[in-house]
Structures are given as structure tokens and as C-alpha cells.
């Protein structure tokens, strides 16, 4: 019995000492630039729970990842819907000839946009080529802006995210 009491003494000391409040005040001495996480957006959106928001970049106003390598990003772009759709198709080695009137339509940001889909070998920025990839994109003119929402990833993963992509595009609203 005495041996058990002797063995409990270190346990009791650990419990009592771990109950002390050892927090110290923190003084902030540095600042950082605001990011899109800090700034109020002019858009309201509902991000699918399977997506992770990541830092915006120069040409990606809103940037998301899904699964291992899938990307979704929203950008304000220049040119026309046809110009951008053709560029996207060329990235997949497809004919850049596209008839906008034949594309699937989507209502987003208070206007009618179009959906572009393709798959194959993707040649992205920097000349990196990837096989078995897919693109699901939406383009819409709204408030004198051409907005693109582009999803690129493994073709099976993109197909599995199609409903989330469409819901995300439809959720976009001007504030």
C-alpha cells in the first residue's frame, strides 16, 4: 500500500502543475499585406465543402483546390467568350472552333453564361503536359466584366465534381 501511495505522488504533482495558467500576453510588432481572405469581396458565393480555398494569385481572384491536384478558380478575363473557350480547348489539343450558340447555358451573376467541357492531354502554363485530364469551365458577361470559372483536374475527379461546380457557379451573386 505504501508503495502505491509513493507511486501516485509524481502523478499528483503532474496533475497539479499542469493546471497552472502559464499564458503570456502577446505583443504584435509586425504587419502583413491584406489578402483576399481579409478583404470584403464584391461577390457572394457558396463554396462546396469538398473544396479548399487557397491564396489568390495575380490572375486568379478566387482560388480553390479539390482532391489531390484539382483546381478551380474564378477570374476576371479579357477578350470574348469565344476567345477564352477557344484558348481552353487548345490547352487540351482540341480544335479551337467553337459555336457559342451550341454550348450548354448556365444562369450565373444575373446573366446567361456558357459551359465548356473537354478532356484529354492538358498543356498548362509553362508547357507542363498531363494525361487523362479534364476541363469544366463557365464564362459569363456580367456588369461589363467577363468572368471565368475554370476547373481542371483528373478527368474522373472533375466528372465527380461537376454538380459542385454547377452549384458553385449558380451561387455567385453580386453583393
DSSP readout, 113-149? EEEEEEEEEEE-GGG-EEEEEEEEEEEEEETTEEEEE
User: Residues 156, 134, 129, 48: is their CA dihedral positive or negative?
Assistant: negative
Instruction: Write the pLDDT tens digit of every residue in 79-109.
Output: 999 999 999 999 999 888 899 999 999 999 9
How many domains is the chain built from? 1
Residue 44: inside a domain: yes
**Inside any domain, residue 14:** no
pLDDT digits (tens, 9 = 90+) for 31-54: 666 555 555 678 889 999 999 999
User: In this structure, is residue 35 part of a structural domain?
Assistant: no
| 40 CB burial (10 A radius; 0-12, 13-18, 19+) | exposed
> Does the residue 110 lie in any domain?
yes
Structural domain harbouring 97: 40-174
Q: Does residue 32 lie in a domain region?
A: no
Which of 69, 58, 53 has the alpha carbon at shortest distance from 158? 69
Q: How many CB atoms lie within 10 A of CB 153?
A: 25
In a domain? residue 25? no
pLDDT surpassing 70 at residue 4? no
Q: Is residue 13 part of a domain?
A: no
Whether 83 is in a domain gets the answer: yes
For range 45-73, the mean pLDDT: 92
Angstrom distance (rounded) from CA 152 to CA 129: 13
CA distance 163 to 134: 15
Model pLDDT for residues 110-148, shown as the tens digit of each residue: 999 999 999 999 998 777 899 999 999 999 999 999 999
The whole-number pLDDT of residue 11 equals: 62
Report the CATH number at residue 149. 3.40.1000.10
Amino acid at each position: 500500500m505504501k508503495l502505491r501511495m509513493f507511486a501516485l505522488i509524481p502523478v499528483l504533482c503532474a496533475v497539479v502543475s499542469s493546471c497552472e495558467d502559464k499564458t503570456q500576453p502577446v505583443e504584435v510588432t509586425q504587419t502583413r499585406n491584406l489578402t483576399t481572405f481579409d478583404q470584403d469581396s464584391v461577390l457572394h458565393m457558396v463554396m462546396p465543402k469538398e473544396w479548399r480555398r487557397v491564396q489568390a494569385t495575380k490572375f486568379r481572384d478566387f482560388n480553390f483546390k479539390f482532391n489531390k491536384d484539382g483546381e478551380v478558380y474564378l477570374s476576371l478575363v479579357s477578350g470574348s467568350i469565344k476567345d477564352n473557350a477557344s484558348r481552353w480547348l487548345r490547352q487540351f489539343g482540341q480544335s479551337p472552333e467553337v459555336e457559342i450558340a451550341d454550348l450548354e447555358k448556365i444562369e450565373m451573376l444575373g446573366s446567361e453564361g456558357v459551359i465548356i467541357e473537354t478532356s484529354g492531354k492538358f498543356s498548362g502554363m509553362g508547357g507542363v503536359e498531363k494525361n487523362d485530364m479534364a476541363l469544366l469551365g463557365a464564362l459569363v458577361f456580367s456588369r461589363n466584366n467577363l468572368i471565368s470559372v475554370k476547373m481542371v483536374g483528373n478527368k474522373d475527379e472533375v466528372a465527380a465534381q461537376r454538380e459542385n461546380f454547377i452549384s458553385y457557379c449558380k451561387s455567385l451573386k453580386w453583393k
